[in-house]
Structure 1
């Protein structure tokens, strides 16, 4: 395949979504057909490229000698692009039902679809310049989704999201400028691109810049103390929060951190330095803080948001080990967390859509009226806890094994943090399950089934099956990720 075909899955949803904005479709069914055709076609195209491979690099724009916009598919691209292309059609199908009564659906699905193309642009970015540009576009495309309701909480959430994102982008830009100055190239090269001659005597400065860049990209990955925007953004419609918290924004932050760690600065330069310790410390603190905060939270979606914050730092912690095994563990959790958490958010959205209940204390006995949704929620919760034979166990075990075998004594503190977090996860998720199935104060007389229709059920079935299958048949995935982690693909 010609390298220029890489532009198609980036531009197709961006142009298609833009057309929906300028030429609104009034009929709901026609809009659904248009959007679903666009999204499914793009996902099929992405997977075809990931499987068949694309030779070479697409140089889309050359602004200066080292400032170029170009795209390439490597092993790590396949991971992020595969997550996006697999989950976006399911999220779109779910959104059709959820958004029926939300209003301004043309605007919503326009930006929802354009965001798909932006995320593929991040995944296919061949250098730091391209990644940074699409990273900024992601903020702009998702801002409209966060503010969609146009009520006071949505406006405040969007403002907070914008301030945090712009501040993080400024920090990330500093990292980009130093790679431009002290790297042999801005392209992503496994092992890093720093020029040993240029950085001689400036090692501590480059380590400081690395930490700054990690924190900058870490804003979207919700690293403490830059996490505040994520729970606040839960006021957005559930299809948006599912993408924000499981697929698009937060995973883009983790993806960017892993890119600069393994493909820009390089672990040979970073391993064993104070910068590695600082990165690991931020991850450990975030894991413990967010898990503890989730236990106290009484709003369902915000509790899941704090759970996301904690689990994102599992990925960052795996990356901070700075070994191939740690990289593999981080990528594994990137995949499994996306599947687990979008399942839980879809369940939360179904509850809110069907019953208008948002708070955990309102869910007593809801397992009897929504057995399908709460059954999926239970399996997803067990996976996030790390119960064996479910996908969360696979990724957590891989990270823990990498930490123990890394010969980094400080990493053992991360092991303790993950184990403590697993206990807290059982508390804040299974307390919901217990209320749903074993508390019946809110139910009287005959129980009416309130499970949603197949627009919501179909994605939940597929995602719950994926949670189980990845846990039972994890070998192929882990072998693929190991090849990437060792720089072989």
Structure 2
């Protein structure tokens, strides 16, 4: 495929989503067909690009000198773009049913579809300038989705998200300026772009900048102490929270951290320095902090949000190991967590949609009335715990193996954090399933008589996710091998 198709894949959903409110659909069905067709066509185009791998870059806009908006597809971008393009059609299908009674659907799906293109802009970015621009655009596209209901809680959550994101962007911008000043190019190059001759005695200054840049991009990955916005964003409709927690926003945060660590600053410059230990300590603390908060949370979606805080730092833990094995583990968990977490959020959304119940203590007995939903939720819970045979075990095993192989003392502490987190995950996830299926012998099932599983538009994505969890859990060798090829370039 020609390189300009990279720009088409980014711009097509942005343009087609942007004109959606202007189109005179006769009925809701026509709007649904239009949206799903746009998403499916773009996903087909992206998958075509992933298989053909255009070698040249596509310059969309040139500012001045070497500053431009340009796209190029490499191994790391292939992983992120693959996740986005495969999950977005299923997320849109699920959203059609969920948003039926939410109101303002055209506006909602306008931003929902445009976000698809913006996220691909991050995945396809050839350089740090392009990535930063689309990273900022992602904040603007997802902000209206969080505040969609216009309730007081939604307004406050959107403000929190905006404040955190703007603060993170300011720190990330510092890193961008220093990369442009001390790098040989703005482009992403495996191994980094820093010009050692330019550094002189400024190495320590660059390490400070890396920590600031890492923290800035990690805001969207909800690393402590910047994780407060994510649970608050749970007031948004479930298709949005699933988008935030599994596909677009938090994965963009993890992806951008990978880019600046492995492709801008370079692990040879960072490994073994105090900067590596600082960011690793923050990541390990976040793993434990997130699952501890999830354990005490009684609101269903907020519990899953705190789980995301913990699991996103699994990915960051692999990144800060700064080894090829660490990158393999990070990428594996980025892929597998996307499937596991979007599945669990969609199950939670199905419960809320069919019963209006938001708190865990309200779920007693629903397993008998919604067996498919809670059965699938239980599988996703087991996968998040890291039970062998499911995909979560594969990524956690690779992360632990990479940590031990790194011979970094703090990384050994990280392995302990992974084990503790797995135990706490078992408690806070399986508690939900146990309450749903085993409410007690004296439970009055007439109190849940109106509950039932959702229709096929919700169940089809959930079923696909379960199959994927088992397939990756039982036959992950091709995926891990492909990730190894990407990491070998570092």
Give the TM-score of the pair, scaled to structure 1: 0.98
Residue 318 of structure 1 aligns with which residue?
318
Matched, 1:239 2:250: no
SS across alignment from 1:451: coil
CA 1:95/1:274 → structure 2, altered by over 3 Å: closer, same or farther?
same
Residue 260 of structure 1 aligns with which residue?
260
- After TM superposition, give the deviation of residue 444 of structure 1 in Å: 3.1
User: 1: distance between equivalents of 2:408 and 2:448?
Assistant: 59
CA 1:57/1:147 → structure 2, altered by over 3 Å: closer, same or farther?
same
Residue 270 of structure 1 aligns with which residue?
270
Preserved CA contact (<8 Å) 2:355 2:451: no
Q: Give deviations 1:277-319, integer Å, cap 9, x for gaps.
A: 0110110000001110100000000000000000000000000
Matched, 1:465 2:481: no
Q: Give deviations 1:161-220, integer Å, cap 9, x for gaps.
A: 000000000000000000000000010000000001111210000000000000000100
CA 1:23/1:273 → structure 2, altered by over 3 Å: closer, same or farther?
same
User: 1: distance between equivalents of 2:486 and 2:293?
Assistant: 34
User: 1: distance between equivalents of 2:195 and 2:447?
Assistant: 73
Residue 2 of structure 2 aligns with which residue?
2
Q: Give deviations 1:231-251, integer Å, cap 9, x for gaps.
A: 000000000000000110000
Q: Give deviations 1:84-103, integer Å, cap 9, x for gaps.
A: 00000000000000000000
- After TM superposition, give the deviation of residue 482 of structure 1 in Å: 0.4
CA 1:442/1:223 → structure 2, altered by over 3 Å: closer, same or farther?
farther
SS across alignment from 2:64: coil
CA 1:204/1:26 → structure 2, altered by over 3 Å: closer, same or farther?
farther
Residue 37 of structure 1 aligns with which residue?
37
Q: How does 1:39-118 map to 2 (within 5 A)?
A: 39-118=39-118
Q: Give deviations 1:321-374, integer Å, cap 9, x for gaps.
A: 000000010000000000000000000000000000000000011100100000
User: 1: distance between equivalents of 2:457 and 2:259?
Assistant: 36
Residue 332 of structure 1 aligns with which residue?
332
Residue 354 of structure 1 aligns with which residue?
354
Give the TM-score of the pair, scaled to structure 2: 0.98
Residue 396 of structure 1 aligns with which residue?
396
User: 2: distance between equivalents of 1:25 and 1:181?
Assistant: 51
SS across alignment from 1:242: helix
User: 2: distance between equivalents of 1:272 and 1:442?
Assistant: 60
User: 2: distance between equivalents of 1:21 and 1:328?
Assistant: 42
User: 1: distance between equivalents of 2:27 and 2:302?
Assistant: 34
User: 2: distance between equivalents of 1:388 and 1:20?
Assistant: 44
Residue 454 of structure 1 aligns with which residue?
456
User: 2: distance between equivalents of 1:30 and 1:446?
Assistant: 35
CA RMSD of aligned residues (A): 1.1
Runs of 4+ in structure 1 off by over 6 angstroms are none
Q: Give deviations 1:9-46, integer Å, cap 9, x for gaps.
A: 10110000011033363611000000000000000110
- After TM superposition, give the deviation of residue 62 of structure 1 in Å: 1.3
Preserved CA contact (<8 Å) 1:326 1:399: yes
User: 1: distance between equivalents of 2:51 and 2:78?
Assistant: 9
User: 2: distance between equivalents of 1:371 and 1:448?
Assistant: 14
